[in-house]
């Protein structure tokens, strides 16, 4: 697209906005891009593109993977523009490009790495035309924004350019079906001891063959529709992974990846299955980008999962774990619940599931609770669950529907009272689950929980963990 | 009593299947039949107490219409006989006249109700809803790509107090004809609205059934209504 007067007006206005925001001490990470797109709706198409543009999209894990990829490339000496401190929609991408351009918009850096919101693909991908695009997975997400997986799949199918090289999840039959004519490689994890033949989750979004409609036969199901399947009536099947995790070694923080007939170990900052996928997809992406296995492995040694997503601390000889559970995202929350169930020892769980904005101004659509596997919390190793927030009664009903005894449930409207409902003598660790927008609350409550745990040293536990307030 | 859940492997978006889990808890003696897409629905050859269909993707809608088209006369007969039906989300559109795409092309529905739906796939409608049914407040949520249009004289399910009806101009929501209920409200509407569950149980011939988690779902209902009135 040619640069028009309108484009230059939008560019200069956006740069002026960024300058003013900087002068008054505000970050303004998406405002310059917002103005640019308001003034010139096809701004991204007219903005000169860095020589190489790579992207990371998908329902879950894209932020973690983008952070890993950026950290490794930075460690390897690459200079690039990215939207890490901004938003992953079109305005965030535009802001990043504007901030890293000369007065007339020419890119200062030759490489751009963007985390891309999959729902925003129509407003980004046709303009940005990524050379390389990683799709982590396709799942149900916010009903409001993403509707359902078929809708998101159709959006990506329509807007991913034909020439974009893809890195796709072989274990996700939805993700792996994207753009079959594009050049692509797949990543996957070999069958693990805990994988089964039947889905243990409420949601499994592909059950029949998309080509002939026959019921799929699963060689194994890991969770939801993640696994390996084939159609008994036609040739449809999960693709073979090019990058395969053949084994994991959590005690050493390593995973063994097979690619091109050779096996080698790579670091994995966290051993939960979703984080093995995150690490593996980062390895595949970096390898396809052109880094050597040695470069990738050496730089990944220095990585850790962002503390805004997962953090463990100790107090009174017990653990306090902050665990992100993305609100209105049934799959992310189900994964978090399963992680808690599988965590060793006896655990208490504090749930802050309210959407921050809905809790303040509306009544949240809580339908997503019923696509979420609260049933994982119905476990002998979890003697206490505290639900706090505007929808505490709705969470209580969902927990009861999951078969959790009333005596294990405590709930309260005031978030800040959650810690006071704990019975610390019953547990070895306390999990605090929070949404992206409630990390401040989670951190405040974490300090209260730590104080409760410190005060409780040696106290005998009560058998009944349940209390509640109206 | 037999309760038939149609095509639960597909028609299960937005947590709607929870309505049937809840009914199972309220009616532990009832027989629940889950009919997969490749099977013949039980209602085709026998009378069942309740037929449930939940929301689905747009491509699935077209498959379900074709699956049920040979049974449209039987569905009409059962509705006229007073069998209970609960269709949630876009399942209602299956029984309408047509579903219109943005390009003007139309998918013919079963034509049992005079209802025409129009899709707008890039503009999803999301809203909270408050309405009235038999003098009781019903609260729910909408999240949909379509608006529906119907002829005067149709049989509305809910009167809109606040929110959007079948379309943005209409002050009524859903269809209720005899014991058929179809509504665009999605998710766990029976859990969210104990008054609706009681009414459904009454229509099913078990009016004195105690609701599962009676005190908790009523407390949650009152709190939700209180927040709705205070915040919206």
Place of tokens 């504007």: A98
C-beta neighbour count of A353 within 10 angstroms: 27
Segment 140-179 of chain B within 8 Å of chain A by CB: 141, 143, 145
The CB-based long-range contact list for A152-159 (8 Å cut-off, 24+ gap) reads A152/A59, A152/A118, A152/A119, A153/A177, A153/A178, A155/A118, A155/A119, A155/A121, A155/A122, A156/A57, A156/A118, A156/A121, A158/A122, A159/A121, A159/A122, A159/A125, A159/A126
Query: Which alpha helices (H) appear in chain B, and where do they start and end?
Result: 18-26, 58-68, 72-81, 189-192, 194-203, 214-231
**What is the set of domains in chain B, with CATH numbers?**
2-231 (3.40.50.880)
**B74-116 pLDDT per residue, tens:** 999 999 999 999 999 999 999 999 999 999 999 999 999 999 9
Q: What is the pLDDT along chain A (470 residues), one digit of tens a residue?
A: 778 889 999 999 999 999 998 888 887 578 999 999 999 999 999 999 999 999 999 999 999 999 999 999 999 999 999 999 889 999 999 999 999 999 999 999 999 999 999 999 999 999 999 999 999 999 999 888 899 999 999 999 999 999 999 999 999 999 999 999 999 999 999 999 999 999 999 999 999 998 888 899 999 999 999 999 999 999 999 999 999 999 999 999 999 999 999 999 999 988 889 999 999 999 999 999 999 999 999 999 988 766 667 889 999 999 999 999 988 999 999 999 999 999 999 999 999 999 988 888 889 999 999 999 999 999 999 999 999 999 999 999 999 999 999 999 999 999 999 999 999 998 999 999 999 889 999 999 999 999 999 988 744 443 344 444 44
Give the span between the Cα atoms of A239 and A377, in whole angstroms.
Answer: 33
pLDDT score, position A28: 59
* Percent of chain B residues past pLDDT 90, beyond the cut: 95
pLDDT of B12 > 90? The answer is: yes
**What is the set of domains in chain A, with CATH numbers?**
5-300 (3.40.1190.10), 310-455 (3.90.190.20)
What 3-state DSSP class applies to A209?
A: coil
Q: How far is A252 from chain B (nearest CA, A)?
A: 40
C-beta neighbour count of A402 within 10 angstroms: 18
**B106-124 pLDDT per residue, tens:** 999 999 999 999 999 989 9
pLDDT of B41 > 50? The answer is: yes
Taken in order A308, A60, A287, A158, the sign of the CA dihedral is negative
Q: How far is A363 from chain B (nearest CA, A)?
A: 6
Interface test with B, best of A122, A139, A142, A143 (most B CBs within 10 A): A143
Output the six-digit token pair for B25.
Answer: 């808890």
Reduced to 3 DSSP states, what percent helix, strand and coil does chain A have, rounded to the nearest 5? 40, 20, 40
Cα-based torsion angle of the residue sequence A289, A291, A297, A299 in order, rounded to the nearest 10 degrees: -90
- Provide the annotated binding site of A: 209, 212, 231, 234
Q: A134 Cβ partners below 8 Å, 6+ apart? A: A54, A55, A56, A57, A58, A65, A166, A167, A168, A281, A284, A285
How does DSSP classify residue A470?
A: -
- Asked if residues A251 and A260 have their Cβ atoms less than 8 Å apart, the reply is no
pLDDT score, position A307: 63
Task: For residue B141, give the nearest of A122, A367, A401 by CB distance.
Answer: A367
Q: How far is A467 from chain B (nearest CA, A)?
A: 13
Task: For residue A370, give the nearest of B145, B188, B231 by CB distance.
Answer: B188
Q: Which residues of A touch B13 (CB under 8 A)?
A: 140, 143, 148
Place of tokens 């006071």: A420
- Asked if residues A56 and A175 have their Cβ atoms less than 8 Å apart, the reply is no
- Provide the annotated binding site of A for Zn(2+): 209, 212, 231, 234
Segment 64-93 of chain B within 8 Å of chain A by CB: none
E-strand ranges in A117-261 read: 132-135, 165-169, 184-189, 217-223, 226-230, 243-249, 254-259
Paired strand residues for A300: none
pLDDT of B230 > 80? The answer is: yes
pTM of the model: 0.92
């Amino acid at each position: 697209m040619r640069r028009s007067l309108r484009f230059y007006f939008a560019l200069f206005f956006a740069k002026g906005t960024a300058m003013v925001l900087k002068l008054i001490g505000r970050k303004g990470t998406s405002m310059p891009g917002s103005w640019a797109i308001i003034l010139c709706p096809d701004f991204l198409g007219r903005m000169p593109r860095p020589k190489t543009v790579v992207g990371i999209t998908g329902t879950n894990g894209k932020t973690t993977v983008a952070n890993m990829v950026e950290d490794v490339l930075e460690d390897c000496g690459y200079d690039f523009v990215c939207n890490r401190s901004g938003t992953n929609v079109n305005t965030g991408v535009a802001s990043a490009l504007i901030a890293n351009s000369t007065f007339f918009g020419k890119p200062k850096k030759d490489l751009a790495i963007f985390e891309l919101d999959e729902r925003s693909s129509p407003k980004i991908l046709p303009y940005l035309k990524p050379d390389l695009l990683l799709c982590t997975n396709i799942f149900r997400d916010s009903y409001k924004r993403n509707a359902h997986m078929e809708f998101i799949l159709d959006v990506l199918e329509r807007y991913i350019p034909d020439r974009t090289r893809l890195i796709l999840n072989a274990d996700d039959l939805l993700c792996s079906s994207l753009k079959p004519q594009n050049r692509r490689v797949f990543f996957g994890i070999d069958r693990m001891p805990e994988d089964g033949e039947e889905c243990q989750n409420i949601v499994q979004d592909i059950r029949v063959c998309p080509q002939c409609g026959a019921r799929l036969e699963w060689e194994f199901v890991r969770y939801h529709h993640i696994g390996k399947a084939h159609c008994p009536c036609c040739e449809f099947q999960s693709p073979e992974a090019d990058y395969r995790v053949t084994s994991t070694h959590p005690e050493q923080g390593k995973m063994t990846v097979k690619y091109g007939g050779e096996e080698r170990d790579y670091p994995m900052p966290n051993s939960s299955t979703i984080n093995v996928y995150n690490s593996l997809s980062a390895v595949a992406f970096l390898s396809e980008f052109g880094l050597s296995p040695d470069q990738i492995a050496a730089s990944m040694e220095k990585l850790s999962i962002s503390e805004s997503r997962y953090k463990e601390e100790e107090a009174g000889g017990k653990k306090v774990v902050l665990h992100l559970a993305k609100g209105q995202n049934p799959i992310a929350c189900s994964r978090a619940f399963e992680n808690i169930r599988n965590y060793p020892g006896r655990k208490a769980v504090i749930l802050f599931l309210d959407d921050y904005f809905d809790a303040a101004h509306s009544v949240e659509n809580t339908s997503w609770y019923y696509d979420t596997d609260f049933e994982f919390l119905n476990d002998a190793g979890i003697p206490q669950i505290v639900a706090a927030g505007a929808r505490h009664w709705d969470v209580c009903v969902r927990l009861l529907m999951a078969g959790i005894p009333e005596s294990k449930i405590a709930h309260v409207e005031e978030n800040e009272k959650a810690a006071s409902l704990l019975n610390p003598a019953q547990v070895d660790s306390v999990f605090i689950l929070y949404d992206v927008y409630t990390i401040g609350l989670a951190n405040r409550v974490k300090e209260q929980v730590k104080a409760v745990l410190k005060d409780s040293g040696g106290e005998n536990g009560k058998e009944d963990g349940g209390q509640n307030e109206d | 009593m037999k309760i038939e859940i149609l095509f639960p492997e597909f028609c299960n978006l937005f947590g709607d299947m929870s309505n049937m889990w809840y009914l199972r808890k309220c009616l532990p003696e009832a027989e629940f039949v889950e009919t997969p897409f490749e099977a013949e629905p039980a209602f085709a050859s026998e009378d069942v107490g309740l037929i449930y269909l939940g929301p689905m993707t747009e491509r699935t809608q077209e498959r379900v219409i074709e699956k049920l088209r040979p049974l449209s006369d039987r569905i009409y007969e059962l509705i006229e006989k007073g069998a209970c039906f609960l269709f949630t989300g876009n399942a209602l559109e299956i029984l309408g006249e047509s579903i219109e795409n943005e390009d003007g092309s139309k998918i013919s529905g079963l034509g049992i109700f005079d209802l025409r739906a129009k899709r707008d796939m890039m503009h999803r409608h999301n809203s909270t809803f408050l309405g009235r049914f038999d003098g009781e407040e019903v609260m729910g949520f909408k999240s949909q790509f379509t608006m529906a249009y119907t002829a005067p004289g149709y049989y509305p399910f809910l009167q809109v107090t606040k929110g959007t009806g079948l379309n943005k101009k209409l002050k009524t929501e859903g269809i209720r004809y005899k014991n058929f209920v179809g509504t665009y409200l999605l998710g766990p509407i029976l859990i969210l609205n104990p008054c609706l569950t009681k009414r459904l149980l009454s229509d099913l011939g078990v009016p004195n059934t105690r609701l599962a988690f009676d005190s908790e779902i009523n407390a949650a209902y009152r709190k939700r209504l209180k927040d709705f009135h205070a915040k919206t």
